[in-house]
Amino acid sequence: MQKIIAEYLGHELPRINAFLKDETDKLDSSVRPPIQHVLAAGGKRLRPLLTLLAARALGAKNDAALPLACSLEFLHSATLLHDDILDEADLRRGRQSAHIIYGRSETILAGDVLLALANRLVAGYGEPRLTDILSEAIMRTATGEVKEIANVRNTELSNEDYLDIITGKTAYLFQAACECGAIIAGCPKEVEDAAHNYGLYLGIAFQLVDDALDYVSPSDVSGKPSGGDLREGKLTLPLIGYFAQLEPARREELEDKFRQNLLSEKETADILHEITALNLPQQTREAARSYVDQAREALKKFPDTPEREVLDSILDFVLSREK
């Protein structure tokens, strides 16, 4: 991670984590365990950091954005709790998923509690636009996930459909994080829009890199088994590109097996190997770069502050991250 981000995180992470802990401690003890579990798994706290940075870069006073920022982490954690059940994932960031330890029902409900807690924190600002934007983001996130599920093993999925899905399931929450930060800073509409665009393009780039990493990261780095998307039938850019470059008969054969979930372990390993050999994960990163460029363009509308520099470094970090 870039030094400038690490330094900023060094200041902010303890305060973010303390706030998350305080709010979690106030919850009824019966719903706390899965919530503590998902928060303790760590993660990058990228969304709350973005809210803090956008708010301060655009003139918000020191701690004004902290509850708002943390509400973004609660929303994100809620989606993780629900996702774990959707994916039937046994691992999350290398640790056992909450629903394996605490039960499926408890985990769904803990997610609901987090969604509501986030809303309550946001309501505290007395600015209905924040609730509006975050509600919209949650709706779009869930809709993106439904579309992703609906398109599992759908080899007809186009690049555009794929982009629509990842924008939904990932980018809108990044967008909301940045836009809400701008709103409580009280900046001009044009700058709010710039924050919105910065978050949106950063979010798309983030997910593209995530999808690239799925094909390159060994399990001990990413916390997920390598090639998980291929095994789960998720079409992402590397796999779409792989199918597209096959000669027609071979393509038809493999797509057919993929659709029916009939690829052997050997075929799966071969595809994973070829995707790497063809440099398709790297090409996916290149696609991410074009979104990072657009995010950087949006950032030019921000006044020149130390926070803008951190936001700029985050673009490089998201593009180059290895896990």
Least CB distance from residue 108 to a second copy, whole Å? 5
- Please list the residues that pair with 95 across neighbouring strands: 92
- Name the residues that contact a second copy, by CB under 8 A: 27-28, 30-31, 78-79, 82, 85-86, 103-106, 108-113, 115-117, 119-120, 122-129, 131-132, 134-136, 138-139, 141-143, 145-147, 149-150
Query: What residues contact 308, with CB distance under 8 A and at least 6 apart?
Result: 57, 299, 302
CA-to-CA distance for 282 and 15, rounded, in angstroms?
A: 36
Query: What residues contact 122, with CB distance under 8 A and at least 6 apart?
Result: 67, 68, 71, 130, 131, 134, 180
Nearer to a second copy, 87 or 307 (CB): 87
Least CB distance from residue 129 to a second copy, whole Å? 8
Least CB distance from residue 17 to a second copy, whole Å? 21
Least CB distance from residue 146 to a second copy, whole Å? 5
Nearer to a second copy, 30 or 264 (CB): 30
Nearer to a second copy, 150 or 277 (CB): 150
Q: What is the CA radius of gyration of the chain?
A: 20
Residues in the chain: 323
Nearer to a second copy, 139 or 221 (CB): 139
Least CB distance from residue 102 to a second copy, whole Å? 10
The Cβ-side half-sphere exposure at 260, using a 13 Å CA radius, reads 8
Nearer to a second copy, 100 or 109 (CB): 109
What share of residues in the chain are helix, strand, coil (percent, to 5)?
A: 75, 0, 25
